[in-house]
Amino acid sequence: MEYIKIRLLDDFGHIGSKFEKTIEDMFRSVSPGFTLAERTWRPPMDMNETSEEVIIVAEVPGVDKDDLEVEISSKAVRIKGNRFARHCSGNATYRLAEIQYGRFERILFLPAPIDPEIVSAAYQNGLLEIRLAKQPPEQTHKIPIQDG
């Protein structure tokens, strides 16, 4: 299937992206192969925290583990990946195309500083789970003040 690529000016900013989405949705209802630009998607994610760690779960079914990348700092996590389209056979016609394919990138700002040395990630059944250990709270010390 061939995609039609149309790029609107970036000057529209946030309104432009809403405008692009509206135009794209309108034309995709007529022809599922229509796209304004390179396909990107935004997988849903959850983030929760306990007293010891921050846990992020990303729903990325159909993404091969080798096509996932996780980068961390003490303040944020970047999750990138790519889900490749599994096109129908050459003689078939799309009647509905709702599954999103293409690359994605999400940057999540963390609610607390974490220790980038104590992190684990697991991928099972289309869910990527990242566990990040929180940094221990800073210890404060009382300093006696001496006379003169």
Q: What is d(CA 140, CA 3) in angstroms, rounded to the nearest whole number? A: 60
Check if the beta carbon of residue 83 is closer than 8 Å to that of residue 100: yes
Check if the beta carbon of residue 125 is closer than 8 Å to that of residue 83: no
Tens digits of pLDDT across the chain (148 residues): 444 333 333 343 444 455 656 666 666 555 555 554 556 789 999 999 999 999 999 999 999 999 999 999 888 999 999 999 877 777 788 788 888 889 999 999 999 999 888 899 999 999 999 999 998 877 777 888 998 7
Report if pTM > 0.75.
no
Q: Looking at the DSSP assignment, which residues form a beta bridge with residue 107?
A: 78
Check if the beta carbon of residue 48 is closer than 8 Å to that of residue 112: no
Chain-centroid distance of CA 99 in Å reads 16
Closest CA relative to residue 104, chosen from 43, 34, 56:
43
Q: Which domains does the chain have, with CATH numbers?
A: 1-38 (no CATH), 43-134 (2.60.40.790)
